[in-house]
Amino acid sequence: MVKFKGQVDSQGHLYIPQEIRAELNTKDLEMLGNAKAILVYPRGTDALDVLRSLNIIKSYLEHRIDLKQRNNES
C-alpha cells in the first residue's frame, strides 16, 4: 500500500494524484468524511465493496501502529 499526498489550493480544490485517479478510473466520485478522514470512491460503488476496501486500509493502519509500538519498546 502506498501513501499519497494531496493538496488543497487557494480556491479550495483538492488535488488527487494521478495514480489514485487512474486506480479509481472515473471522474464521477462520491465522498464521505468526518473530522479526521475523507473516503473517496467511484460514484455508485456498492457499499459492501467500499467496506471491504476500508477493511484492507484499516488492517494496513493497524499493522503500522503495531510496528511503531514494537519499535518503541525496543
**pLDDT at residue 1, rounded to an integer:** 75
**pLDDT at residue 24, rounded to an integer:** 92
**pLDDT at residue 52, rounded to an integer:** 98
Neighbours of 22 (CB within 10 A): 8
C-alpha count within 13 angstroms, C-beta hemisphere, residue 32? 9
Distances (CA, A) of 38 to 8, 32, 46, 62, 67: 13, 6, 17, 18, 24
- 3-class SS of residue 53: helix
Under-70 pLDDT residues of the chain: none
Predicted structure pTM score: 0.79
